[in-house]
Amino acid sequence: MASCVLLTEGFRATLGAWPVLQIAVENGFGGPHSQEKAEWMVGVLEQYFQTNADLQQHEVEDFLAEILNNEFDTMVEDGSLPQVAQQLCSLFQQCQRGEEAAVREQISQLSQRKSRGRVTLMKNHAPEEESEEEVPMETLDCGTGLIAVPPAPPSDVIAPVDNTSEDDEGWIVVQRKK
């Protein structure tokens, strides 16, 4: 069925044009298999839509947020989640109605947006008037705005905590004081 192929292409284009997911993939937030996880998301979303009748946009938002949190350790706070969920719902509904031309047009627009909105990392220094101390920032340019992320403090600045332990897999576990 042609619409199923277009649905996969549409979902792939939507996720591929989503700066949040692209930042997570390009920076390995999902571990060494981040790219494979992004591809896996396309199939999971397709299955989610096909096995759940009359999905509402907020349900798709919740599902996407859960995947990004679980698979990429990423919380979406840039306001893009509703837009991506709406695009996915729209693509699915268009495929259901057999509107292949509209789906192809949307895929084309998403592909153009993806090429314009490449993610870049750059150093940003705060102007001296605003701050006594100059702090380098990692800035993520998503094409829709900048996200400034302060660098991690040097390891000698982090005070040791006495309520930590290491588990079997090497993770440091911080426990609540009793």
Condensed to tens digits (0 to 9), the pLDDT of residues 144-164 reads 444 434 444 444 434 444 545
Which residue type is seen at 86?
Answer: Q
Lowest mean pLDDT among 59-73, 103-117, 163-177: 163-177
Q: What is the pLDDT of residues 121-141, one digit of tens each?
A: 332 333 444 444 444 444 444
Backbone angles phi, psi at 122, to 5 degrees: -145, 155
Split at pLDDT 50, 70, 90, the class of 169 is low
Unique residue bearing structure tokens 């790219």: 35
- Is 109's pLDDT higher than 60? yes
- pLDDT (0 to 100) of residue 82: 97
Distance, CA of 1 to chain centre: 30
Q: Which has more confidence, 104 or 148?
A: 104
Widest CA span in the chain: 63
For residue 141, the surrounding DSSP H or E stretch is: strand 136-141
Closest residue by Cα to residue 41 from 57, 58, 65, 75: 65
Q: What is the pLDDT of residues 26-61, one digit of tens each?
A: 999 999 999 999 999 999 999 999 999 889 999 999
Q: Distance (Å, rounded) from C-alpha 64 to C-alpha 46?
A: 12
0.75 exceeded by the pTM?
no
Question: Which CA distances in Å does 108 have to 101, 105, 131?
Answer: 11, 5, 45
Quick one: what percent of the chain has pLDDT higher than 70? 61
Give helix then strand counts, H and E, for the chain.
6, 5
User: CA 123, 125, 127 angle in degrees (round to 5)?
Assistant: 160
